Amino acid sequence: MFRIVTGLLTVVPLLLLSAMPTEAQSSDVAMGKKIDALFSHVTSPDAPGLAVLVQKNGLTVFERGYGVRELRSKAKIDAHTNFRLASFTKQFTAMAVMLLVHDGKLRYDETLAEIFPEFPAYGNTITVRNLLNHTSGLPDYEDLMDAEEKAKGPIWTPEKQIQDAEVLELLKKETNGKFAPGISWSYSNSGYVVLGLMVAKVSETSYREFLRARIVSPLKMNRTVVFQRGINEVRNRAFGHSKENGALKETDQSATSATLGDGGIYSNLDDLAKWDEALRNHALLSEKEFQLALRPVRLNDGSEPHWPKEPNDDNLHPGKPVSYGFGWFLDPYQGRQRMWHTGSTMGFRTVIERFTPADGLTVIILCNRTDLEPEKLALQVADIFLSAQN
């Protein structure tokens, strides 16, 4: 078993009293060396980097940090280093919504206008389900921000960031969506900001407090934070970096870094191992209830959705088929079923890859630099394990 100990790779025998390594232990060590070889050259010890977790059948088989949290103190990345999850957050927002459905406080067929009666008429046919699976057609709030600033001049900056309530107000100024709900598919940060606001309204508390009470505290994810500047702090925080003119520069916050339901959570390997275990053991919802999250969306006519043809930052595979549930992509990999999600924002890239219980494999990679490709790296890790099972 590999773990992080003061930034160094160490081998921890599974059977401490055994004088000779078993065949399983030798296999674990060999796997760990293969995984380490993938990451040992992606960053240098004194540069921003990444944290890697591999779980197999609920056991941690590899856990290591590479590089530093930030360039000022050069503090090392470890299992407790908190990274901004970006869109990795969406699975937590979806779980919060599902918990409220479980409580009888929300319905999947409830409409946007039912929850926010002041919302324009185009919200009368957008359901909670449409928001969860990206078939709502809500306009992209960053596009609406651009239009607002073109008309009125600069409004939002990294110091004066747009808040969730402002996103809702921008959406309320529109008279229609990009398409009628359910007839197309388009990845929507706006939809998940609105879901976060729904969680707050229906639960009569804040999104931050609802997640703390119903997810973070029960699972003892003690370092996970829904970050809101001026309200709380992120301990052991990694700061984001981007490469500019060949050098890495801190690029931690943007004008859109304060929205919550679409990407506002900070977490770490230690806590995400607990999240993975909770999903495996159905600790928050029954297996039957959670299966709805793993049901690929179909459009109103029963057809398979596709990514939009026009490329943009949120369009990972223009024009190709897409399989999405509630907060999870569900596209298979090399014929194997999986649930997965990436995150991408100012200074950070993240990914979680969870394969079926039969494979029992989870790979999580958190990066505080934007020139790495965690999804590609995670699948290379998966290849090591999946090929060994063939």
Q: Which residues contact 142 (CB under 8 A, 6 or more apart)?
A: 189, 256
**Dist. CA 297–CA 215, nearest whole Å:** 25
Cβ distance 192 to 95 under 8 Å? no
Reference 227, options 50, 48, 64, 92; nearest CA is: 92
**Dist. CA 340–CA 345, nearest whole Å:** 17
Full set of structural domains in the chain with CATH: 2-389 (3.40.710.10)
Q: Which residues contact 156 (CB under 8 A, 6 or more apart)?
A: 145, 149, 162, 255, 256
**Dist. CA 2–CA 11, nearest whole Å:** 5
HEC profile of 287-302: HHHHHHHHCCCCCCCC
Question: Which parts of the chain have pLDDT scores under 70?
Answer: 1-27, 313, 390
Cβ distance 257 to 161 under 8 Å? yes
**Residue 292 per-residue DSSP state:** G
φ, ψ (nearest 5 deg) of residue 267: -150, -175
134 token code pair: 């990206």
pLDDT of 172-201, one tens digit each? 999 999 999 999 999 999 999 999 999 999
**Dist. CA 307–CA 331, nearest whole Å:** 12
- CA distances to 106, 268, 308 from 276, rounded to whole Å, are 25, 12, 31
Output the pLDDT for position 13: 39
For residue 218, give the 3-state DSSP assignment.
coil
For residue 286, give the 3-state DSSP assignment.
coil
**Dist. CA 350–CA 50, nearest whole Å:** 9
Cβ distance 240 to 369 under 8 Å? yes
Output the pLDDT for position 311: 77
- CA distances to 43, 135, 265 from 128, rounded to whole Å, are 41, 10, 21
pTM comes to 0.92
Count CB neighbours of 228 within 10 A. Answer: 16
Cβ distance 97 to 359 under 8 Å? no
The continuous run of DSSP H or E covering 355 comes out as: strand 348-355
Helices (H), 21-116: 23-39, 90-102, 112-115
Rounded-to-10 torsion of CA 162, 94, 293, 174: -40
Q: Considering only CA atoms, give the Rg of the chain.
A: 21
Q: Which residues contact 385 (CB under 8 A, 6 or more apart)?
A: 31, 54, 56, 359, 361
Cβ distance 362 to 369 under 8 Å? no
Which residues is 5 bridged to in the sheet?
Answer: 8
pLDDT of 225-258, one tens digit each? 999 999 999 999 999 999 999 999 999 999 999 9
Output the pLDDT for position 26: 62
Output the pLDDT for position 277: 97
**Dist. CA 228–CA 232, nearest whole Å:** 6
**Dist. CA 387–CA 390, nearest whole Å:** 5
